[in-house]
Every structure is written in C-alpha cells, then in structure tokens.
A = this chain, B = another copy of it.
Amino acid sequence: MAAGAQVFQSEVFRAFATYATIVLLKMMLMSVITAFFRITRKVFANPEDAAVHGKGADAKKYLRTDSDVERVRRCHLNDIENIIPFVGIGLVYALSNPDLFTALLHFRIFAGSRIFHTIAYLTPLPQPSRALGWFVGYGVTVSMAYRVLQSLLYL
C-alpha cells in the first residue's frame, strides 16, 4: 500500500493519471460511436450481428461497409496509434521527476490536441485542421520521449 500512496503524493503523477484516464476514456468513446453508427445505419461486419436486425436475405444486405462507419474506425485507430504511446512514454516521463508546470503543459496540450483531432476527423473539418491536431499531439509525445531518454538513458 505504502508505495501506491507515495506515488500519489507526487502531483506530477496525479496529473499524469488524470490526463491518461481522460484520453483513454475519449478513445473508448469511439467504440460507442462506432456501435451507434452501425446500429442506426444497419451496417454490420458479422452475420450474427446482422441477423438481429433482419432475417435471411434481409440480414445479408446489412453485411456491408459504410463511409461514415469507416471514418469513425479510422479515427479510433488513429487514437490507438497516438494515445497509447502517450500513455506509455508519459508514464515513465511522469516518474522521471519533471517540473510540474512543464509536465502539466505537455499533458494539457496533448489532451486538447486529441479532442480537437477527433472533432476535425468526425465533422469533418477541411485540412489541415486534422493534420494539425495530429501533429501537435505527436510533438508532445516526442518531447516527453526526448526528456526521458536525456534524463535516464540506460542502454
């Protein structure tokens, strides 16, 4: 117990835990959005899902792809590709005793950029909105990685 309590005396670690939880919840929200589009538009990938909404030939008709569903899925995959490295690198960054102000700046910009990225992807906003959202988040993670490698490199 003691170790856990101790880690949580660190404000940097608490900030990391808060923002990591927020961006992971945002990523999980994509599953719900995908399910919502699949059910309202009757667009399914599995025969057993389509069977719930129709029988025989009717069910087969629903086994298709839809451009909006694919858009949400691409957005979800982009979250996986970017949010997970943030959580992994952010964890060791948070444990490398960074300055609280600098750490908060990293976490806040990342969370903001990913929320903006999702809005830009799903609206969709004209480019380069989405590219910018992606790039800022990417830069934050690279900046944390640089700090980690610089402060504790052990090859």
| Residues of B close to A87: CB separation below 8 A | 88
User: Do the beta carbons of B95 and A71 come within 8 Å of each other?
Assistant: no
Once the chains are docked, how many angstroms separate the CA of A12 from the CA of B24?
Answer: 22
**Quick one: which of A1-56 are within 8 Å of B by CB?**
1-18, 20-22, 24-25, 27-28, 30-31, 45-49, 51-52
* Closest chain B CB from A22 CB (angstroms): 8
User: Would you call the interface of chain A mostly helix, strand, loop, or mixed?
Assistant: helix
Number of copies: 3
| Residues of B close to A76: CB separation below 8 A | 81
User: Do the beta carbons of A8 and B127 come within 8 Å of each other?
Assistant: no
User: Do the beta carbons of B84 and A17 come within 8 Å of each other?
Assistant: no
Binding site for B on A (CB under 8 A): 1-18, 20-22, 24-25, 27-28, 30-31, 45-49, 51-52, 70-71, 74, 76, 80-82, 84-85, 87-89, 91-92, 94-97, 124-128, 130, 134, 138, 141-142, 145, 148-149, 152-155
Identify 13 residue pairs between A and B in the complex whose beta-carbon atoms are under 8 Å apart, listed by A's number: A3-B10, A3-B95, A4-B94, A11-B154, A14-B152, A15-B155, A20-B88, A21-B145, A22-B149, A27-B85, A28-B141, A46-B124, A80-B80
